[in-house]
């Protein structure tokens, strides 16, 4: 029983680092965000946001430099 709880805690702690976040997703560093938003084609960046539990959120910039067809996030 103790082992299962420990495993659950370890997996929960590791999960935020395993997947990239899309627009509006919480992040800690730029590498947590997808490169671009497939909907708008704009580049995503990790910016300060008070409503996030991490203090940062993946937000679309005004740059539309992404190739939307090549956006795999």
Would the pTM count as exceeding 0.85?
A: no
Q: How many domains does the chain have?
A: 1
How would you write 43-69 as a 3-class SS string?
Answer: EEEEEECCCCCCCEEEEECCCCCCCHH
SS3 3: helix
50 located within any domain: yes
Residue 71 lies in a domain: no
User: What is the predicted pLDDT for the residue at 36?
Assistant: 83
Let me know if residue 48 belongs to a domain: yes
Is there a contact between 32 and 18 (Cβ–Cβ < 8 Å)?
Answer: no
- Higher-scoring residue by pLDDT: 26, 12: 26
Mean pLDDT of 16-31: 80
CA pair distance 39, 43, nearest whole angstrom: 11
pLDDT tens per residue across span 28-42: 998 898 888 877 778
Is the residue at 43 inside a domain?
yes
């Amino acid at each position: 029983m103790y082992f299962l709880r420990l495993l659950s805690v370890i997996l929960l702690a590791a999960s935020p680092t395993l997947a990239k976040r899309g627009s509006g997703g919480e992040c800690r560093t730029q590498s947590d965000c997808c490169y671009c938003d497939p909907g708008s084609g704009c580049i995503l960046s990790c910016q300060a946001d008070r409503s996030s539990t991490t203090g940062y959120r993946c937000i679309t910039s005004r740059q539309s430099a992404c190739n939307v067809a090549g956006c795999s996030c």
